Amino acid sequence: MSIQTKQKIPTGTYVADPVHSSIGFAAIHNGVSTFRGGFRSYEARLIGGEEPQLEGSVDVTSLDIPDEQLKGHLLSPEFFDVQRYPEIRFSSTELEIGEDGVVRVRGELEIGGQTHEVEANGRFGQLGADLANSARVGLSLETTVDRRSFGLDWQAKLPSGGEVLGYEVTISVELELVKEAE
């Protein structure tokens, strides 16, 4: 991506508004549809200024899917192994915003004790002040990772051929962040 003219995130520290933010994931299921899930409990912090930084964590036990049996399977050692790895973490190493609001973020993503560099793309939005007169910014980011690189390699073969779950997982992060009081 070519970002020729950059804009800056205003100086300050911004934290995720959990009512207006979400973190989700999607993977192909049975080769015919997209399975989606998310997390209810997470934290995200964006530090603005000359060298902006984004960091966050997800409480894996807050996995939000509509089936309790499947949730138990995903939290087990076959997937997230929540007893050993209760958090997913991200810390940016580079964050660029084009004048048009296009964002590119690189950073370290840690899932299941495995850390890998990822790149996410999306958009940035800025609001001078909300109804409570607090400054807000928004980040919409998306990246796709191979879950096997994070040790999430469970798989089952379908009787008709093929595999139950795709290895590529799309992670979507929608953040509305409010500036902390100084």
Greatest alpha-carbon pair distance for the chain in Å reads 60
**Res 6: pLDDT:** 65
**Res 127: pLDDT:** 76
**Res 80: pLDDT:** 96
Tell me the backbone φ, ψ of residue 150, rounded to 5 degrees.
-105, 15
Give residue for tokens 């309790």. Answer: 68
Output the tens digit of pLDDT for each of the chain's 182 residues.
Answer: 444 446 788 889 999 999 999 999 999 999 999 999 999 999 999 999 889 999 999 999 999 999 999 999 999 999 999 999 999 999 999 999 988 899 999 999 999 999 999 999 999 998 778 888 888 999 999 999 999 999 999 999 999 989 999 999 999 999 999 999 87
Residue whose C-alpha is closest to residue 35's, from 44, 43, 26 = 26
CA separation (Å) from 2 to 41, 53, 55? 34, 20, 24
110 vs 87: CA distance, rounded Å: 8
CA separation (Å) from 138 to 9, 132, 141? 10, 17, 10
Apex CA 18: angle with CA 13 and CA 20, to 5°?
95
147 vs 74: CA distance, rounded Å: 13
**Res 128: pLDDT:** 76
